[in-house]
């Protein structure tokens, strides 16, 4: 049974992805800070199971506990660094960013994923995939998105550098596009975001990426979907 670790697995894309993988026979280990929400999201889904390990990815002791749980029965085939934070809602302009908030953004969106990759690296299978969830904000420039965007751009850069340093693994920066999630709602407080697609609609494209295993790199869900439609 293949094994996956997914951070931010209690809601949104992380929840949708962990459920889909479990239904395809994966043993999935999810983490998140809200223990109650994580437990609700981790209800067993036949034929695989979802195991919750509550905690914060910026906490070294939590990362160690997560790695121990995931690797106790064998090596891990997939790591998805999905957990991230916007920092503050509504989003402030760059010069209005509180230094402590900016530091927290880096710890969660960059430091946490990199530390978890380092901790889990000895337990990854040959050819395993590490997927860092990116954003169009990493390559575009939107007013008030500067703090969050800077962390996603840095995570993209680290992903592709890791690909150059460890070509035996697959390294993906995956941009799922806008989705109807709580974090996206926090980015637009008081606005109607019902026109955004549900996270579940992006999961098939992610699973296709896993199956096809293209070269390491940065991939947009929209581009992968369009490519599939052209070749269908």
Could you report the per-residue pLDDT of 103-134, keeping only the tens digit for each? 999 999 999 999 999 999 999 999 999 999 99
Residue 185 is part of a domain; what is its CATH number? 3.40.50.720
Q: Which pair of tokens denotes residue 232?
A: 């269908």
Entry pTM:
0.94
Q: Which pair of tokens denotes residue 162?
A: 């890791």
| Successive 10-residue mean pLDDT values, the chain, 232 residues | 95 94 95 91 78 96 97 96 92 96 97 98 97 96 95 98 98 89 71 83 95 97 78 52
pLDDT of residue 44: 67
Q: Which of 188, 213, 196, 97 is nearest to 151 (CA)?
A: 97
User: What are the strands, taking DSSP E only, across 71-150?
Assistant: 76-81, 124-133
What does residue 163 show for φ and ψ, rounded to 5 degrees? -65, -40
Question: Active-site residue among 29, 148, 172, 219?
Answer: 148
Q: For the segment 169-204, what is each residue's pLDDT rounded down to a tens digit?
A: 999 999 998 876 677 666 678 878 788 889 899 999
DSSP state letter for 216? S
Structural domain for 17, as ranges: 3-231
Domain count, the chain: 1
194, with CB counted inside 10 A (0-12, 13-18, 19+), is: exposed
Q: Residue 148 catalytic?
A: yes
């Amino acid at each position: 049974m293949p094994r996956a670790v997914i951070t931010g697995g209690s809601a949104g894309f992380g929840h949708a992805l962990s459920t889909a993988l479990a239904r395809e026979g994966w043993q999935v280990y999810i983490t998140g800070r809200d223990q109650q929400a994580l437990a609700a999201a981790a209800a067993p889904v036949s034929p695989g199971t979802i195991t919750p390990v509550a905690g914060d990815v910026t906490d070294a002791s939590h990362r160690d506990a997560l790695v121990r749980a995931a690797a106790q029965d064998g090596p891990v085939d997939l790591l998805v660094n999905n957990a991230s934070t916007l920092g503050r809602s509504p989003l402030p302009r760059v010069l209005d960013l509180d230094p402590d908030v900016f530091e927290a953004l880096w710890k969660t969106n960059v430091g946490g994923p990199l530390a978890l990759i380092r901790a889990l690296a000895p337990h990854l299978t040959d050819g395993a995939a590490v997927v860092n969830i990116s954003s169009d904000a990493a390559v575009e420039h939107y007013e008030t998105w500067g703090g969050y965007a800077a962390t996603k751009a840095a995570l993209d850069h680290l992903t592709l550098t890791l690909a150059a340093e460890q070509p035996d693994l697959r390294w993906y920066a995956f941009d799922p596009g806008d989705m109807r999630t709580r974090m996206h709602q926090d980015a637009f407080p008081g606005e109607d975001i019902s026109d955004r697609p549900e996270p579940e609609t992006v999961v098939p494209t992610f699973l296709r990426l896993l199956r096809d295993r293209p070269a390491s790199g940065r991939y947009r869900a929209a581009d992968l979907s369009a490519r599939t439609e052209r070749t269908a």
